[in-house]
Amino acid sequence: MRVLVTGGAGFIGSHLCDRLLEQGHEVICLDNLFTGSKDNIRHLHNHSHFELLRHDLIEPILLEVDQVYNLACPASPIHYQYNPVKTIKTNILGTLNMLGLAKRVKARILQASTSEVYGNPIEHPQKESYWGNVNPIGVRSCYDEGKRAAETLMMDYHRQNGVDIRIVRIFNTYGPRMAENDGRVVSNFIVQALRGRPLTVYGKGKQTRSFCYVDDLVNGIMAMMECDDITGPVNLGNPSERSIMDFAQQILSLTGSKSKIEYRSLPADDPVQRRPDISLAKQKLNWKPEVSIEDGLNQTIEYFKEKLELR
């Protein structure tokens, strides 16, 4: 099949491109390289089934493909808040463009949605049936509300035009090829620990997150694309929840770093707790995460060690 991956030069998208090529598909990677990098896909440069299109998703594009994975959108809070108008445009105009394309060529389209659609969740853990608790005018809303609107567009194109859609709600994911400067907690803590700098814990570190290794996540995304009897949304994530303070301690112990903890103020609207209920993914996709947090973090630490040493 010919598969379009938007955001394919990003962290998750580049792993997805690898896996699709391994399966023998032809891959068109569409990316404006805002948060993505050519380094993430450099190893694919001479692959006969791989093509990079430098294009901004908010502009329409005509392509002939069988499947679309719509991942283009900055994912880390500092990057999506850098140009919030652009973020919401990417989510709305970009998703509209991809839905128009999918409708025209009758391609199946999968939207990378997010646990952020649950906002600061009152229901815990979060099931797909929960409508969320999102601040529509806060600094995170360009992303949260953008992703919510993208889900709406997907559902309306499905109901109105019969477009073959899939929606996954991705929870915090980590692994090699995260950008070292993207400000997310996993890359921040590992890079800080490796450099012997203080680990920056926001607030008191009591807020919780549940971290999923990228290989597991890509398995889930591909299983969703291949599943015939579900549109979603389906949660994809690892339910092993921990506080940010415990996570900092774990990074210190895995890296053997002597870095101290430094407290910083908590960003606005930072969700207090987050853990996916993945019963639906287990039942419908026969999917669950396989990689332990220790193994996943060790792989990620090795990646950053190599990257920092190369520098």
Query: Under the rule (CB under 6 A), what is the footprint of ligand NAD?
Result: 7, 9-13, 31-36, 56-58, 71-75, 90, 94, 112, 114, 170, 172-173
Q: For the CB of residue 18, give the shortest distance to ligand UDP in the complex, in Å.
A: 23
Answer with the entry of ligand NAD, ligand UDP, none that 267 interacts with (C-beta below 5 to 8 A by kind). ligand UDP
In the list 112, 201, 214, 225, the residue contacting ligand UDP (rule: CB under 6 A) is 201
Q: Is 190 in the site for ligand UDP (CB under 6 A)?
A: no
> Binding partner of residue 10 among ligand NAD, ligand UDP, none, CB under 5 to 8 Å per kind?
ligand NAD
Residue 213 designated active-site: no
8 A C-beta contact, residue 16 and residue 8:
yes
Q: Of 254-293, which residues contact ligand UDP (CB under 6 A)?
A: 267, 270
Residue of 200, 231, 243, 273 interacting with ligand UDP (CB under 6 A): 200
- Residue in 191, 209, 217, 233 binding ligand UDP, rule: CB under 6 A: 209
By CB under 6 A, is residue 125 in contact with ligand UDP?
Answer: no
- Tell me if residue 197 falls in helix, strand or coil: coil
Give the three-state DSSP class for 231. coil
Give min distance, CB of 91 to ligand UDP, in A: 15
Give the whole-angstrom CA distance, residue 231 versus residue 163.
10
The DSSP letter of residue 183 is -
For residues 28 and 237, which CB has a smaller minimum distance to ligand UDP in the complex? 237
Q: Residue 94 or residue 257: which is nearer to ligand NAD going by CB?
A: 94
Q: Are 274 and 121 in contact (CB under 8 A)?
A: yes
**Quick one: which segment of 80-88, 125-133, 196-204, 217-225 binds ligand UDP (CB under 6 A)?**
196-204
Tokens of 176: 């090699």
- Maximum pairwise Cα distance, the chain: 58
- 311, HSE (Cβ side, Cα atoms, 13 Å): 8
| Residues in contact with ligand UDP, shown as a per-residue x/- string from 157 to 176 under the rule CB under 6 A | ---------------x----
Distance CA 182, CA 79 (A): 7
Asked if 252 contacts 301 with a C-beta cutoff of 8 angstroms, the reply is no
- Distance CA(225)–CA(253), nearest Å, equals 38
Catalytic residue selected from 69, 118, 143, 213: 143
Q: Which does 153 bind (CB under 5 to 8 A by kind): ligand NAD, ligand UDP, none?
A: none
Q: Count the helices and strands in the chain (H runs, E runs).
A: 10, 13
Q: How far is the CB of 260 from ligand NAD (least distance, A)?
A: 27
Amino acid code (one letter) for 254: L
Q: How far apart are CA 267 and CA 281, in angstroms?
A: 31
Closest to 116 measured CA to CA, from 164, 81, 161, 157? 81
Residues labelled catalytic: 143
Residues at the contact surface with ligand UDP, assessed by CB under 6 A: 76-77, 172, 184-185, 188, 200-202, 207, 209, 244, 267, 270
